[in-house]
Amino acid sequence: MAATRRPGRNHLFIPGPTNIPDRVLRAMHVPSEDHRSPDFPALVKPLFQDAKMVFGSEAGTIIFYPSSGTGIWESALANTLCRGDKVLTARYGQFSHLWVDMAQRLGLDVIVQDEAWGTGADPEKIGQALRADTEHKIKAVMVVHNETATGVTSDIGAVRKAIDAAGHPALLFVDGISSIGSLPFEMDAWKVDCAIAGSQKGFMLPAGLGVLCASAKAIKASEGTAGGNDRLGHVYFAWSDQLKQNPTGYFPYTPPLPLLYGLREALECIKEEGLQNVYHRHHVLAEATRQAVAAWGLKTCAKEPKWNSDTVTAILAPEGVDAAKIIKHAYDRYNLSLGAGLSQVAGKVFRIGHLGDLNELSLLGAIAGAEMAMIDCGVHVTPGSGVAAASSYLREHPLTRG
């Protein structure tokens, strides 16, 4: 039996993959090409330079992998660290948890600072742990900038200050998968050593192109011989193979061609809008979402305004209401995709992703849909209250800076 046709577009409001601008979709519609041809570097070489803009970096080195963001996590750890090395990290959501899990499975000795979900990294505690490590056994600090599971953003500048105040030489690795390209990110100013991104969020592309920006210090660590045979194994993810070929505009293996064309167009979109405007737009849309949540009489998972994420809002369903039911109903009835609650917050939250290619009216569609789905599922929300609060806010706050 043929599937029932669902007219109109699916309203995609998960926090990645995000909506892809039509012009980026068109740019990816290309025939296959010889990735060893003399013409190929003309496409590739500028990408290494242009992609740095969204990382807030001039000094860094971009490395692309045909992988999702998880692959870039692995490349950062595997290229710079040795089996048994100590790393320090904070855990406050599913993605920071998964990074801990990866580091442990790779054979690292992970010091975990557990924070309440709904909060983020505590620079003070990180500083304390580093000050106590007088022998400098901790080789890296790993921080998730924007914890997508809970809608929480941590202050990376403050983490850098804590590392410097402790006079500690550890590398700083930052997962910017759901922040880079959407939230202010200052790789050089924050002296981030590995900044980790994936194509399917702020870059507004399909998943499949992992993007790393590495500092000179990280690259030096990858070249060192410290650790001898105890260096973590890596073959596919070896930076050295990439760094040999990339400067001439080639890759050590077959690159995902459509994603490279898409990236070129997406970077052009970001340049045309202006990075500061992109950040401002994300802030305004996020604030409008929070206004809607308040008007519904609900709370966000982020415990205090200082943790609020401008790319995703995790909304706590009222006691006794299964958030998974709201998500399913929104999808089945209104063709609206909301983000699920993960792990500890499964069934407790639903998430509205507001990052990537969106504007006021697309957001209002999601807010209206979430509101309708909640009412259908028995949540006591005044019809129209979220839409009214968000639209009033949006009317007063233009998406472009004045």
Ligand X SMILES: Cc1ncc(COP(=O)(O)O)c(C=O)c1O
Cα–Cα distance measured from residue 93 to residue 75, given in angstroms and rounded to the nearest whole number: 22
Between CA 230 and CA 241, with CA 235 as vertex, the angle to 5 degrees is: 115
Cα–Cα distance measured from residue 276 to residue 270, given in angstroms and rounded to the nearest whole number: 10
Cα–Cα distance measured from residue 90 to residue 62, given in angstroms and rounded to the nearest whole number: 26
Cα–Cα distance measured from residue 264 to residue 272, given in angstroms and rounded to the nearest whole number: 12
Least distance from C-beta 134 to ligand X, angstroms? 32
Which backbone phi and psi does 392 adopt, to 5 degrees? Answer: -60, -45
Q: Please, which residue, 60 or 198, has the CB nearer to ligand X?
A: 198
Least distance from C-beta 15 to ligand X, angstroms? 7
Least distance from C-beta 319 to ligand X, angstroms? 27
- Binding residues for ligand X, rule: CB under 6 A, are 16, 68-70, 95, 144, 146, 148, 175, 177-178, 198, 207
Least distance from C-beta 67 to ligand X, angstroms? 8
Q: Long-range contacts for 157-160 (Cβ within 8 Å, ≥24 apart)?
A: 157/186, 157/189, 157/190, 158/123, 159/121, 159/123, 159/126, 159/190, 160/190, 160/191, 160/192
Cα–Cα distance measured from residue 132 to residue 114, given in angstroms and rounded to the nearest whole number: 18
Q: Please, which residue, 314 or 316, has the CB nearer to ligand X?
A: 314
Q: Please, which residue, 75 or 289, has the CB nearer to ligand X?
A: 75
Amino acid at 225: T
Least distance from C-beta 72 to ligand X, angstroms? 8
Q: Please, which residue, 148 or 289, has the CB nearer to ligand X?
A: 148
Residue 215, judged by CB atoms within 10 A of its CB (0-12, 13-18, 19+), counts as buried
Q: Please, which residue, 44 or 144, has the CB nearer to ligand X?
A: 144
Least distance from C-beta 33 to ligand X, angstroms? 25
Separation in Å, CA 229 to CA 81, 232, 275, 374? 11, 8, 43, 56
Three-class secondary structure of residue 82 per DSSP: strand
Q: Please, which residue, 16 or 369, has the CB nearer to ligand X?
A: 16
Q: Please, which residue, 122 or 175, has the CB nearer to ligand X?
A: 175
Least distance from C-beta 175 to ligand X, angstroms? 5
